[in-house]
Amino acid sequence: MRKSILLIQPENEKINRFRRKQFNNFVQITMPYLAGFIDETKYKITLVDEYQQKIPYQRNFDLVAITVNTPNAYHCYTIAEKFRAKGAKVIFGGPHATLLPEEASEHCDSLIVGEAEEIWPKFLGDFYQGNFQQIYRSDAIPDLKDVPLPRWDLLKRSSLMKGAVFSTRGCPYRCAYCNLKQIYHDTFRSRPTSEVIHEISLMKSKFFVFWDDNFFADKAHALELMESLKPLRKKWAAQVTLADCNNDELLQKAREAGCLYLFVGLESFSPSALRGVNKQMNRVGSYQDIIHKLHKHKIMIQAGIVFGFDEDTPATFQHTLEACESLGIDGVTVSILTPLPQTPVHAQMKGEQRLLNEDWSLYNGKTDVVFNPIHMTEEQLLNGYNDFRRQFYSLPSFIKRMRVSRTHLFYNFVMNLGYRLAIKR
């Protein structure tokens, strides 16, 4: 007899309101990927992405699986409480469950800590037999060969935004605000190129994104993958580090393979701020040459910018805007520094008694400041962040940046317009 399982990609109301204003949000890959491991002769699967769907509280399920990130933690605990009250068993996984298992385990029946490729199938087998454990830990480093295809067919969402794939896992760097080293095994790994290409070939959308943490980290793998990608004639984006973009061979192959833009974590234009969070691989003096190189290869740059480093002052926002405009940066993803649990930044700020709270719902990096900055008030940081976003995506700023970039003007205009309309809404 088949058991019923509900997979939830959660999103609390605050973040949902923020993201729904934007039309260029790609889907998260976690739950469609985990659904690929499920034996449908044993389980009847329902998949819900709360970005566009309502959770079916009125239905009964044997098992509810939820991926928990930090800003959604309390929201996930509430979801679990409602389903457990109806008799369902609830299992948590994801970043927050891995970072704070003691806290998360108080709100569920079972918990996956770490990478899921080996322990998720084990749990599913145990649960079906009626004998599951409270905690499953990823002790061995999972092999990323022969992983199942994501179950996009279970997701009720536009095919345009279903294009997501991962080809590598991990990152060789140790930025102080990042929690990748605490979530994954500290070993960089790649999937077989043929399997990645096959998965991409099945996508209905012409556009897709690589969800790799650092797509260029393994140069040989990236070159092989992009060479194989060319015949598919897709358009794509990926996340890389700026230092790896100082390589004409990689950029030429990326352009030939259909790369539209690369997300690059610049984070700051202050060398001391970068040193303070262990991001020395970014050299501010090289920004102009490398960004020019990206544009020469007809690749747009979507820069990650973070405000709230200890070196930042009220003048930082205008200085950053002027720098972005002079460099012709095509787009930015702006965040407020957020001391996520178990990161060095969190430990430092907690030790200095600078944390305003540990209300995880505020730890989203977009809507709230959760610590005391050194050279400005919390209000100045939040207002400066919002003002920067409005000014960067204004028409005058767009014109200034495009005079320098001159890269994919149509796509650039659409991308900037999307962010502009989101901010105005």
Beta carbons of 227 and 197 less than 8 angstroms apart = no
Beta carbons of 385 and 307 less than 8 angstroms apart = yes
Residue 244 and residue 187 in one domain: yes
Distance, CA of 69 to CA of 421 (rounded, Å): 27
Domain annotation covers residue 156: no
Which residues does residue 237 pair with via DSSP β-bridges, in sequence order? 209, 261
Beta carbons of 93 and 111 less than 8 angstroms apart = yes
Residue 17 and residue 77 in one domain: yes
Residue 18 pLDDT: 66
Which residues does residue 9 pair with via DSSP β-bridges, in sequence order? 49
Span 174-215, pLDDT tens digits: 888 888 888 898 899 999 999 999 999 999 889 999 999 999
Nearest to 199 by CA among 191, 117, 45: 191
Tokens of 247: 């390589």
Strand order in the sheet with 259-267: 164-165, 207-210, 235-240, 259-267, 300-307, 331-336
Residue 341 and residue 247 in one domain: yes
Q: 285: which DSSP letter?
A: G
Three-state SS across 18-38?
Answer: HHHCCCCCCCCCHHHHHHCCC
Q: Give the structural domain span for 168.
A: 163-424
Q: Which CATH number is 86's domain given?
A: 3.40.50.280
Residue 112 and residue 177 in one domain: no
Q: Containing H/E element for 288?
A: helix 287-296
DSSP assignments along 364-391, one per residue: TSSS---B--SSS-HHHHHHHHHHHHHH
Question: What's the half-sphere exposure (Cβ side, CA atoms, 13 Å) at 229?
Answer: 29
Q: In 3-state terms, what secondary structure has residue 292? A: helix
Q: Which CATH number is 335's domain given?
A: 3.20.20.70
Q: How many domains does the chain have?
A: 2
Domain annotation covers residue 142: no
Residue 30 and residue 105 in one domain: yes
Residue 423 pLDDT: 79
Residue 37 and residue 105 in one domain: yes
Residue 222 and residue 118 in one domain: no
Q: How many Cβ atoms are within 10 Å of 50's Cβ, its own excluded?
A: 18
Q: Where would I find the H helices in 297-408? A: 316-327, 344-351, 378-392, 395-405
Distance, CA of 404 to CA of 396 (rounded, Å): 13
Residue 83 and residue 176 in one domain: no
Q: Each residue of 304-317: b (16+ CB within 10 Å) or e?
A: bbbbbbbbbeeebb
Q: What angle, 0 to 180 degrees and rounded to 10, lies between the N-to-C axes of helices 219-229 and 248-256?
A: 20
Point out the residues of the chain with pLDDT beneath 70. 16, 18-26, 157-162, 425
Beta carbons of 312 and 273 less than 8 angstroms apart = yes
Domain annotation covers residue 233: yes
CA distances from 212 to 105, 116, 180, 283, 400 (A): 28, 16, 12, 22, 31
Dihedral angle of Cα 76, 121, 189, 47, to the nearest 10 degrees: -40
Residue 94 and residue 177 in one domain: no
Last residue in a domain, options 137, 155, 176: 137
Residue 233 and residue 122 in one domain: no
Domain annotation covers residue 151: no
Q: 363: which DSSP letter?
A: T
Span 52-70, pLDDT tens digits: 889 999 999 999 999 999 9
Domain annotation covers residue 125: yes
Residue 114 and residue 207 in one domain: no
Domain annotation covers residue 121: yes
Tokens of 200: 């991409």
Tokens of 77: 């605990």
Domain annotation covers residue 155: no
Residue 174 and residue 272 in one domain: yes
Residues with Cβ within 8 Å of 317's Cβ and at least 6 positions away in sequence, in order, are 307, 384, 385, 387, 388
Q: Where are the beta strands (DSSP E) in 83-165?
A: 89-93, 110-113, 135-137, 164-165
> What residue type is 410 in one-letter code?
F
Tokens of 82: 């409602």
Beta carbons of 117 and 140 less than 8 angstroms apart = no
Residue 157 pLDDT: 64
Domain annotation covers residue 84: yes
Last residue in a domain, options 92, 121, 137: 137
